[in-house]
Amino acid sequence: MPKQIKKRELKKGEKPAAVMTVLAMAAGLVFAVLFLILIPDIDRSAEEVQFAKAIGAAAGYICFVLFTLAAMIVSLAAYRSSRQVGDVMRGFFAGVSVFTSLLSIRFMLALFFAGLDKQDMVDKIIGDSSYSTFIQNQAPSFACLVTALAIMLFCGISAVVKLVRR
């Protein structure tokens, strides 16, 4: 009769860290969907629809950043008690994701204030350049935002695997 291999039980803090990482991944997916659906035609629609789209995208961004920050903190706290490399790596990558997503904060603020129809705040955020120049200059921060979303997707998948296997 073959010998049954015991699976290691999750140590204290590992399960909440994995669950928070999955929640951060879900927040990232929701934000990505909101951003892809709401933003492309934001300036082609009615004013109240523009407000809802801008606020929806900004709220998705804020939720993504906050959930990712929480996942980083909980994962690093779990590492302190479990000493599992996976926890520290998820915490590290969540921190990288928070940092790279914060590089897009200027665009998100411009989008938020444009949705509120606060043109003076948008002009302060954009500066001396035109709106089209501002959007073109945001390409590197968009790349960082996509990278942050991809990082959290992979971290979330690893957390799901950890939860399912144990």
Q: What average pLDDT does the structure give for the chain?
A: 81
Nearest residue to 157 via CA among 30, 63, 22, 27: 22
Q: What is the pLDDT of residues 91-108, one digit of tens each?
A: 898 889 999 888 888 888
pTM of model > 0.85: no
Q: What is the pLDDT of residues 34-77, one digit of tens each?
A: 878 766 655 554 555 577 777 888 888 899 999 999 999 999 88
Residue ranges covered by each domain of the chain: 14-165
What is the average pLDDT across 20-24? 92
- With 60 as the cut, is the pLDDT of residue 147 above it? yes
DSSP 78-139: HHHHH--HHHHHHHHHHHHHHHHHHTTHHHHHHHHHHHTT-HHHHHHHHTTS-HHHHHHHTH
